[in-house]
Amino acid sequence: MAKDMTLLWGSGSPPCWRVMIALEEKNLQGYNQKVFSFEKMEHKSKEVMDLNPRGQLPAFKHGDKVLNESYAACMYLESQFKSQGSKLIPDCPAEQALMYQRMFEGLTLNQKMADVIYYNWKVPEGERHDSAVKRNREALSTEVKLWERYLQKASGSFLAGKNFSLADVVVYPSIAYLYRFGLCEERYPKLAAYYNSLKDRPSIKTSWPPTWLENPQGQDLLKDI
């Protein structure tokens, strides 16, 4: 099964990592994979563009089916391999509703995080404003506090209850990214506990970004968030 799958990915990218976690959870090891360097702009190479005309990673293919959106790929893998590996969509309607809610709220977290981390990269120097930087950082602070509250009120140790689910598959890489960029663990104890408790989960440990393993020291861009 996994031999029919190809994943083009980049180390440290939350969207790529989501798909890798999903593949591990569904026991789909042995897929064809190739890692590309964002720094060298390899995601704009012909090999990537042929599979994903947006020139973005991940690019995922199963047989003749192409899924380049990470959420779509994760949902597809759970749907196609339901009876294999971990069950990632709960049967209980309340848990399922919460899972989908947290899952898609993860997109908002990702966007607000990107607005801060990539501001200087995305916005030309002459168009940058201190007021925009301040506004983006305040928006991210509000967002992170929201996730801290979610975990305070959670009925289990995962985002949607007592079981690891698709919500964790797609959101955990973003939370790990926050800590990679210096989010203060003491300021958000529930979020930190969640982040640290899942570090050794086999699917996450196995797929941990190799560039992070080579260089464990992250950045401190978010230390004041």
Q: How far is CA 147 from CA 6, 16, 23, 76, 211, in A?
A: 33, 22, 26, 26, 27
8-state DSSP, 8: E
The tokens describing 58, both together, are 């991940």
Rounded to 10°, the helix 14-25/166-180 angle is 140
pTM confidence score: 0.95
Both 206 and 98 in one domain: the answer is yes
pLDDT over 90 at 121, yes or no? no
Query: Which CATH number characterizes residue 148's domain?
Result: 1.20.1050.10
Q: What is the domain extent for residue 19?
A: 2-80
Both 206 and 147 in one domain: the answer is yes
Can you give the pLDDT at residue 173? 98
Can you give the pLDDT at residue 156? 87
With respect to residue 220, please indicate whether it lies within any of the assigned structural domains: no
pLDDT over 80 at 1, yes or no? no
Instruction: Give me the number of domains the chain comprises.
Output: 2
Can you give the pLDDT at residue 217? 81
pLDDT in tens, 137-195: 999 999 999 999 999 999 889 999 999 999 999 999 999 999 999 999 999 999 999 99
Spatial distance between the Cα atoms of 134 and 34, rounded to a whole number of angstroms: 38
Task: Show which of 80, 106, 133 is a domain's final residue.
Answer: 80
Q: For the chain, give the mean pLDDT.
A: 95
Q: What per-residue string of b and e applies to 57-92 under the rule 16 or more CB within 10 Å gives b?
A: bbbbbbeeeebbbbbebbbbbbeebeeebbebbbee
pLDDT in tens, 18-57: 999 999 999 999 999 999 999 899 999 999 999 999 999 9
Average pLDDT over residues 71-88: 97
Query: Which CATH number characterizes residue 28's domain?
Result: 3.40.30.10
pLDDT over 90 at 2, yes or no? no
